[in-house]
Structures are given as structure tokens and as C-alpha cells.
Chain A
Amino acid sequence: MTSVLFDVPGPRARRRNTILAVVTIAAVVAILAFLVWRLSLTNQFSAAKWSVFTYSAVWASIGEMLMNTLRAFALAAVLSLALGFVLAIGRLSDHAWVRVPVTVITEFFRAVPVLVMMMILYYGLPTLGMKVDPYWAVVLALMVYNGSVLAEALRAGIESLPRGQSEAGYAIGLRKSGVMALILLPQAVRAMLPVIVAQLVVVMKDTALGFIITYQELLYYAKLLSSQPGRPILQSALVIGGIYIVMCLILSGIAKWLEIRTRRSPKDKVLEAEAAVLMHEGTDTELLVAQGDGKRGRRQGRDRR
């Protein structure tokens, strides 16, 4: 799509683009150089600052904290998926006494920030005489927030299905539960799979909030490490940050892969064939899209049609 906005550059445009490219590179290099200059000025590259990472005990602890993060993530992901299904189905109920409270609960959970929910569970409940482990505060807060977000996604998926789907289900004698479980949900889940996985990335990212309520996960350990000799605060943040980014990138990669895979439905294949025919007739734009962004442009061009 992007490449439809502009022509194949002529000599003047090419010169201007080169200038812009040089400016961009110069800006990026300037920012990086400034950072490196400040870092070396404050001796951040010295061996002493990085020495904590030469101990195997430190890495063993990082592994342990990583497991804590993953433990919270895994349970929160499963529970929020379950809650998402329950809330989505409840909100689509025919009975007002189910639908109205579920709607209120979903909207409430969606509006309260995850951190406030965690604090209510961790700091608030003890005043009512209930002691909550930080682990459970993290898991439950992530569950109620992401569960209600997932519920909205599933509901949107179900409501976007053609009415004929459920009508056909009723026509062959299925009950409400059958129509939901056998016809509507499978299609909605398939359509919403990229959104669901993208929400799981949010769950992963938000486990880091546990740091604020003293849950012993990766970021908590980064803070702990910075009190070691040499005060390696930037170094530990970089190492721990790298671990987070890799984990989230893997999940985002899965989301993107699923999106591409689910798009390859029979209907799309026909469109693809049509697009291929059009490509030979070659209007300017299609040629541009084809040569410009390659596959990405072609796919997006097709969606437009």
C-alpha cells in the first residue's frame, strides 16, 4: 500500500530521497554516538560494571526469575482465556439477568488499570484479613483484565459472523449451546486468533508490573542486581530487557505467522489468482506495488479490492 502513495522516483525525487536517507542515518548515528559517548564517559563499558554476569550463580538466579515470570504468564494466559470465553458467552446470553451483570463486570475490569487491580489484591485485601501472595496478585489481576479484553475480542468475532451461520445451526435442530460450541465459537476463534495471541503478548509484558508489588520476577532481579558492587544498573536492565524483548518477539512472531496462515483461505486464493491476472495487464499502480514492497504490497493491494 505504501508504495501506491508515490511514483517510481525520477532523478530529482531520487536525489531528495538520498538526502532524506542521509539525514535519517545522520540523526540515528548522532543519537547512538551521544549515548555511547555518555556511556563511555561514565565508564559503563568497564569490565567491573559487567563482572556480575560472569558468575554462574547470577545466571542461575536469572533462570529462576525467568521461570517465575513464565509461571505467572502461563497461568494468567490460560485463566484469562477461560475467563474470556465465559464473559463473551455470558454477554451474548439471551437472558437479561446474565447479560447485564456480565456486561457491567466486563466493562469495569477493562477500565481498571492492571496495576491498580494488582495493588488492590496485594495491599488492599490484607486490610480485610486476607493475605495474598504476590504471585496470585499478579496472576489474578492479569486474568481479570486480559480476560475481559479477550471477551470483547471473542464477542466481536462472534458478532461479525453472518446470521445465516446460527440460523442454519438452529435449522438442523441444534440447541443454543450446540450452535455456540459447534458453529459460532470455532469460527470466531479462528478469525480472532491473531488478536488473541497479540493479547497474550500484552499478558507477557504486563507480568513485569509484578516488579512494583515485589513479585520476584526478572525486573525485580534487575533491580536487585544493581545493588551489587559496581552498581551495574544499566547493564542489568539491558540484559533483562533483552530477555523480555526476545520472549515478546517470539510471541509476536507467532501472532504474525498465524495472521498470514489464517488469511490463506480458499476465498483468498481466488482473489490471489485474480490479482495475478491483473498483474499481467499491468496498470501502473499494480506494477509499482509488485516491484515496490514485494509480497507485502501485493497482499495489501489485494485486500483493498
Chain B
Amino acid sequence: MDAINGNLDLWLEGISYTLLVFFGGGIIALVLGTIVGAMRVSPVPVARAVGTLYVTLVRNTPLTLVFFFFVFGYSALALPTLSNTVLGIMAIGVYTATYVAETLRAGINTVPVGQAEAARAIGLPFGQVMTLVVLPQAFRSVVPPMMSVFIALLKNTTVAAGFSIAVLPQLQSTISNSHTRTGTPMEVLLWVAIIFVALVMLLTWLQRSLEKRWRIAR
């Protein structure tokens, strides 16, 4: 327990940075992912192609490499300096956006064809077909897989530790590099693992209860 009690300040910092990367990345991923997902089902072939290219490229790139591009590559462009944390949040957002886009697209595909057909039959244009008929139904079937995307996002925040962003696993090197801090790397890392298991369990529970509440009776 010394590993926790002796370094409460560090643990607090680690958890808040992890949550910052999680929520920051999540918001970017949701916004960007919705745009890309909409592009992938849109009636404009160019938009579909751009969306597909983005998803295929980023999905087949390791997250570590995306971080590498943003954290190390950005400074080579001589743009206004941003902290590693901001760049890391952007990297994880851009990466997760592809998963959000694919989940949304899959959700739209689960709505039976008849629904869109009926909506078109009563004369609704594309925008109204989507907002009034398809998306409200897609939303319900999207919630469980979307939660899985966010669970993966939570676990992916650990990658930021490799780019000197103060998320939880970074504690291990901070503590073992200082002489005054207590706790062996093993203790620290096991506590990190336990925190992640607890957070993942929490999200899984949320996923189950949302799934139950919004299940569609078909």
C-alpha cells in the first residue's frame, strides 16, 4: 500500500491525465467520427471515397505510429508549439474517430431497408429520412458497440505514457526515477492494472444497463 499512500499526489495526477486524454480524445473521436461516418453513407461519391480512404489508412496504422506522427512529427512543421498532452489527445482522437465512424455506419446498416423505403415513399428527402427515421433507430443499436469503442479508447490512453504524457503507466518511471518515492515498479504497475480493470468493469456495467434500457423490441 506504500506505493499508493506515499505517492497520492502522483496517483491523482495520473488518474486526472488519463481521464483528460480519455474525454478529450473521446470528444474529438465523436465529432470527427460522426462527420466521417456521415460521409461514408452520403449520396456524394467523392465524400464516400474520402471517408473510406481515411478509415482504411488510419485503421491499418498502429496507434503508436499515429502518436509518433503527432508528437514527434508536429514539431518538425514549425507550427505554434503545443504540449505533448494536447498532441496526444489529437492523435488518439484521430485514431478512434475511424472506429466511431465504422460503428455508426454499421448501426445505420442494421435499420431494416423497409424503414428507409417507407420514409422515402411518404416523400421525405435524404436529410429527413436520416434524422427522423433511420438515425433514431440506429442510435439504439449503436450504443453497445460504441461503448466497446470507448472501452478500447480507455485502454489506448496508456499508449500516451510512451510519449511522456503523465497518464497512469507513466507513474512507474516517475517513481523509479526518483529516490524519495516509495514503491517498486511491480507494485505500481499492478495497481495501474487494477485501476484499469475497475474502470473497464464500470464501463461494461454501464454498457449492459444502457443496452437493457434501449433494447429495440423487434
Residue pair B172, A205 in contact (C-beta under 8 Å): no
Given contacts A116-B192, A119-B189, contact A208 B64 (CB under 8 A): yes
Chain A residues whose CB sits within 8 angstroms of the CB of B108 once the complex forms: 1, 5
> Quick check: is A249 within 8 A (CB to CB) of the other chain?
yes
Across-interface contacts of B172 in A (CB, < 8 A):
119, 123-124
Docked CA distance A41–B113 (Å): 51
Interface size counted on chain A using CB atoms at 8 A = 65
What is the CA–CA distance of A9 and B42 in the complex, to the nearest angstrom? 12
Q: Which residue of B lies closest to A44 (CB)?
A: B76
Q: Are A6 and B162 in contact (CB under 8 A)?
A: no
Whether B41 is near chain A, meaning CB under 8 Å from some CB there, is yes
Stretch of B67-75, B85-93, B206-214 on the interface side: B67-75
Interface residue total, chain B, C-beta cutoff 8 A: 59
Instruction: Give the A-B pair count, Cβ closer than 8 A.
Output: 173
The B contact surface, by secondary structure, is: helix
List B168-218 residues whose CB lies under 8 Å from chain A: 169, 172, 176, 184-186, 189-190, 192-193, 196-197, 200-201
- How distant is the Cα of A277 from the Cα of B29 in the complex, in angstroms? 43
Interface residues of A in 224-263 (CB under 8 A from B): 226, 231, 233-234, 237, 240-241, 244-245, 248-249, 252
| Interface residue? B81 (CB, 8 A) | no
Q: Quick one: which of A6, A41, A112, A245 contacts B78, CB cutoff 8 A?
A: A41
A267 within 8 Å of B by Cβ?
Answer: no
Q: Tell me the B residues contacting A by CB distance below 8 Å.
A: 39-48, 50, 56-57, 59-65, 68-69, 72-73, 76-79, 108-109, 112-113, 116-117, 120, 126, 129-130, 134, 155-156, 158-159, 161-162, 169, 172, 176, 184-186, 189-190, 192-193, 196-197, 200-201
Instruction: Say yes or no for A28: interface residue by CB 8 A criterion.
Output: yes
Nearest Cβ on chain A to B191's Cβ, whole angstroms: 10
| Bound-state Cα–Cα, A115 to B65, Å | 14
Least CB distance, A258 to chain B, in whole angstroms: 17
